[in-house]
Chains A and B, each alone.
Chain A
């Protein structure tokens, strides 16, 4: 007779083993390592909640302290691998296999660990993909998560940084897994229930609040004239042309410059209310001036941002705010919104090849994907229309008709030279060499060329929708690649022809004078200005202050 309750029995066994270390659902911090040892078995799939923003850092630290003789060969399944403790798990042999999305600060360490064979890599996913696999074949046995507060019944308040938590808990709790939460404080009553207590097995009050990285704060003081020029080109050549109302912005300085130009240059172009009204976007501080100037109707957020909480609570008409008065973010839902409900993604990258493929991988760094591939891809399942979507689709098809579907605008903004004079345009992506070296069958590509609709550089816009073959794509890209080797090798006659057809548009073709690009155009030139715009509600982290 088949036993259909093996998972349930195993869960019961583990909870039994945990009993000596807990009091009800509450664990003392000193008991956490012992608890982890009792509920985690070797080869388990473990999600140690960490994304590009919040971190269950106390639990991570505790997990590195279990004896690898007791617990080893874990399979880590989580969106962000960004703490040094995450890497320690592999270095110590506690973990072996890895499926993840984003690595950020650990990108160099991951590349080294892969090279040394310390990590057995499953795949680098986009966020939604990894979340999807949580429900198919990467369901966690144990999840270690972070929340702001908990009551003694395990009800969790995840606060503005809700992010991945509901998704992780849903997959774990409903498949007989075990959920342990670190919280900043155990309280009598949580301000709102983001995660119901019956999905949470244990809570521990961590000795310090969980870490949150201010990943989306761009100091307006560091925006350059070149980035302002690019932002002007994008506003006039893309926003004004296609009028995308629903969109997502990447986190680079060029898109921050766009945000800061909306109330000034955007206003001059008469675009308020016409574009960029509805967003799937993290709480970018640089969007404050546009919000305050009445550009923005609604924003849904993947996560929160350090210092923005009070501002968002005071703007509930714009943000998604719980009845308790604080932001509710949700990475899965916001990613989905970015994939299906947005007409445009515009963001930066590190390298672009001659077919428009882009990657942030360098020979010694694997930064992962995060959300850009979903934001920056055409959703073939999309059926609802918008003017921007239809216009892009018609340009791509070169025709109109009842069977010509639309296209998402996927815009890549790059300065032709990056840091240290590294050309952004290359004959071959570094990620291909890396894939060869590590034996990966598919090179990590952030956005595939066939999804890219426009490339914006300081030299102008290349509209790939209007290119009719691979050769035209190549010359259109070379034509905006500036003084990089790729740009210098352009076919000048072909580039002029593409320019005559409007495939390539230079600043002067758009009526933009190079010398207009001035920092005085920015609606805020410093983080201090953003605070003033927010009426003192935005409280930036100390590292962004110069007052």
Chain B
């Protein structure tokens, strides 16, 4: 018998990208575009003697949540680290362009769900991957301008690093779990470049204090915090779908204000407990070790205060 507070449902962190889509959408509603049998694969991996994936680690298509149409893109974090690359990136960009262009038509959808799980750009095709990130960002903005929310769901093994971190922060709503991580340079990269004194990547508690789900949602880098089961992600996605997004000068001015304020308040802090102390949270040292239920009631009490992304 597994007690109630131990998760026994399918875990987002452990699931494959396909299993996440399966659990996220109404059963049987997913229609994949360029599915595995169409074999649209990376032309570059052979040069490195690496096996390709039938879907290049990016699954895109449309489906429904509670009967409402949505577009979905999911990165497979276990394949090449869920990286942005030529084909995988183009699939995502194409989907976003399709959403933007079909907004308001019969083919329009109510939201885009981005199941990011990525270490960033796939270095074997670095330039194409970098371009894919940039094109994705531009396409996300077009989707948002067309009035369709873009919701990032973060809780996979690879997190959302590098360009994935930038893409996340361009979405209109970010859902994250405790295991989720968002960052630009990964801890290993910082350690390699700046030394272990700057960032000890093996101190995983530190890694999560800096990049992890709880810190991100408390600081405003994410908008919803969920338990790590697939069902909770589905619920959060369904709710976020109804949030009306806006993307305008005013949005970014408010974001400018929000980010300026953050830098002013916390710019001299070295670790997140210092931030939580300034922010007046109870037991700043114990945030990471609270139970999920306690953390969520803390969040509910503190309220989530970011209106601009």
Instruction: Let me know if chains A and B touch directly in the complex, using CB atoms closer than 8 Å.
Output: yes
A residues in contact (CB < 8 Å) with B: 221, 263-264, 267, 289, 292-293, 519-520, 523-526, 528-529, 531-533, 536, 542-547
Q: Is B206 an interface residue (CB 8 A)?
A: yes
Instruction: List 7 A-B residue pairs with CB atoms under 8 Å apart, sorted by A's residue number.
Output: A263-B1, A264-B2, A536-B289, A542-B202, A546-B179, A546-B204, A547-B288
B94 → chain A, closest Cβ, in Å? 33
Residues in A neighbouring B31, C-beta threshold 8 A: none
C-alpha gap A520/B1 in the complex (Å): 12
Hey, which chain A residues are within 8 Å of B8, CB to CB?
520
- Complex CA–CA separation, A529 to B5 (angstroms): 9
Known: A532-B291, A536-B291. A542 touches B212 (CB 8 A): no
Closest CB in chain B relative to A71 CB, distance in Å: 34
> Which of A293, A529, A533 has the most chain B CB within a 10 Å cutoff?
A529
Residues of A within 8 A of B208 (CB): 545-547
Within 8 Å CB of B205, what residues of A?
A: 542, 545
Q: Which residue of A has the minimal Cβ distance to B15? A: A519
- Are B291 and A529 in contact (CB-based, < 8 A)? no
A532–B6 CB distance below 8 A: yes
Asked if B203 contacts A293 (CB within 8 A), the reply is no
Q: Is the CB of A542 within 8 A of B6?
A: no
- Interfacial chain A residues near B2, Cβ < 8 Å: 263-264, 289, 523
Could you give, for residues 2-15 of chain B, a 1 whenever the CB lies within 8 Å of some chain A CB and a 0 otherwise?
11011110110110
B1 contacts A293, CB within 8 Å? yes
Is A267 a contact partner of B179 (Cβ separation < 8 A)? no
Complex Cα distance A520/B10, Å? 7
A306 to chain B, nearest CB (A): 13
Contacts of B179 in A (CB 8 A): 546-547
Inter-subunit contact A525/B11 (CB<8 Å): yes
Known: A536-B289, A536-B291, A542-B203. A547 touches B178 (CB 8 A): yes
- Contact residues in A for B6 (Cβ distance below 8 Å): 289, 523-524, 529, 532-533
Residues of B within 8 A of A531 (CB): 289
Contact (Cβ within 8 A) A542 B206: yes
Interface residues of B in 12-35 (CB under 8 A from A): 13-14
Residues on B with beta carbons closer than 8 Å to the beta carbon of A536: 289, 291
What's the Cα separation between A267 and B2 when bound, in Å?
11
Q: Which residues of A sit under 8 angstroms from B234, Cβ to Cβ?
A: none
Q: Which residues of B contact A533 (CB under 8 A)?
A: 3, 6
Per the bound structure, the CA–CA distance linking A528 and B8 in Å amounts to 13
Minimum CB distance partner of B200 in chain A: A542
| Cα A81 to Cα B178 with chains together (Å) | 39
Check B14 against A544 for contact (C-beta < 8 Å): no
Asked whether any CB of chain A lies closer than 8 Å to the CB of B214, the reply is yes
Chain B: which residue is nearest A292 at the CB level?
Answer: B3
Whole-angstrom distance from the CB of A262 to the nearest CB of chain B?
11
Residues from chain A with a CB closer than 8 A to the CB of B203 are 542-543
Most chain A CB within a 10 A radius of its CB, from B8, B10, B14, B202? B8
Indicate if the CB atoms of A544 and B178 lie closer than 8 Å.
Answer: no
B1 contacts across to A, CB distance below 8 A? 263, 267, 293
Total count of chain B residues near the partner, CB < 8 A: 25
Within B64-123, which residues are at the interface with A (CB < 8 Å)?
A: none
CB distance from B9 to the nearest CB of A (A): 8
Chain B residue with minimal CB distance to A530? B6
Interface of A is mostly: helix
How many whole Å from A167's CB to the nearest CB in chain B? 34
Query: Is the pair A519, B14 in contact by a Cβ cutoff of 8 Å?
Result: yes
A544 CA / B208 CA spacing, docked (Å): 12
- Cα distance, A533 to B1, chains bound together (Å): 11
Chain B, 113-150, contact with A by CB distance < 8 Å: what is the 0/1 string?
00000000000000000000000000000000000000
Q: Point out the residues of chain A lying under 8 angstroms from B3, CB to CB.
A: 292, 532-533
Is A525 in contact with B204, judged by CB distance below 8 angstroms?
no
Contact A543 B202 (CB under 8 A): yes
B204 pairs with A543, CB closer than 8 A: yes
Chain B's closest residue to A523 (CB) is B2
- Do B291 and A547 touch (CB < 8 A)? no
Q: Taking each of A264, A524, A525, which has the highest tally of chain B beta carbons within 10 Å of its own beta carbon?
A: A525
Query: Residues of B contacting A293 with CB < 8 Å?
Result: 1
A130 to B1, CA, bound (A): 43
CB distance from A363 to the nearest CB of B (A): 27
CA of A520 to CA of B69 in the docked complex: distance in angstroms?
30
By a CB distance below 8 angstroms, the chain B residues around A532 are: 3, 5-6, 291
> Do B14 and A525 touch (CB < 8 A)?
yes
CA distance A8 to B195 in the complex (A): 53
CA distance A263 to B3 in the complex (A): 10
* 8 extra interface residue pairs, beta carbon distance < 8 Å, beyond A267-B1, A547-B179: A263-B1, A525-B11, A526-B13, A542-B203, A542-B205, A543-B203, A546-B13, A546-B208
Assess whether A529 is in contact with B7, with CB atoms less than 8 Å apart. Answer: yes
Once bound together, how far apart are the Cα atoms of A333 and B204, in whole Å? 36
Q: Roughly how many angstroms separate A532 CA and B6 CA in the complex, as a whole number?
A: 6
Q: How far is the CA of A255 from the CA of B68 in the complex (A)?
A: 46
Chain B residues 176-205 with CB under 8 Å of chain A are 178-179, 202-205
Nearest 10 CB-CB pairings of A with B: A542-B205, A545-B204, A547-B178, A532-B6, A545-B205, A542-B203, A529-B6, A542-B204, A547-B208, A546-B179
Per the bound structure, the CA–CA distance linking A545 and B10 in Å amounts to 20
Min Cβ gap A404→B in Å is: 40
Cβ distance B295 to chain A, nearest Cβ, rounded Å: 10
Taking CB as reference atom, which chain A residue is nearest B213? A547
When chains A and B are docked, how far (Å) is the Cα of A371 from the Cα of B214? 42
CA of A267 to CA of B1, assembled, Å: 8
In the complex, A456→B6 CA distance in Å?
Answer: 30
User: Shortest beta-carbon distance, A382 to chain B, in Å?
Assistant: 36
**Given the complex, which residues of B lie within 8 Å of A546, measured CB to CB?**
13, 179, 204, 208
Min CB distance, B158 to chain A, in Å?
12
- B203's nearest neighbour on chain A, judged by CB, is A542
Q: Name, among B179, B213, B214, the residue most crowded by chain A CB atoms within 10 Å (CB to CB).
A: B179
Cβ distance A223 to chain B, nearest Cβ, rounded Å: 11
Query: Smallest Cβ distance from A105 to chain B, in angstroms?
Result: 15
Q: How far is the CB of A164 from chain B (nearest CB, A)?
A: 28
| A248 → chain B closest CB, angstroms | 26
List the B side residues contacting A542 at CB < 8 Å.
202-206
A528-B178 contact, Cβ under 8 Å, with A520-B10, A547-B208, A547-B212? yes
Distance of A512 from chain B, by nearest CB (Å): 21
Kindly list chain B residues whose C-beta atoms are within 8 Å of the C-beta of A221. 14
CB distance from A516 to the nearest CB of B (A): 16
Closest residue of chain A to B289, judged by CB? A536
Distance to closest chain B CB from A270 (angstroms): 13
Residues of chain B within 8 A of A528, CB atoms compared:
178
Convert B283-302 into 0s and 1s, putting 1 for each residue whose CB lies closer than 8 angstroms to a CB of A.
Answer: 00000110100000000000
How many angstroms from the CA of A543 to the CA of B207 in the assembled complex? 10
Once bound together, how far apart are the Cα atoms of A531 and B202, in whole Å?
20
Q: Whole-angstrom distance between the alpha carbons of A5 and B179 in the complex?
A: 66
B176 CB → nearest A CB, Å: 12
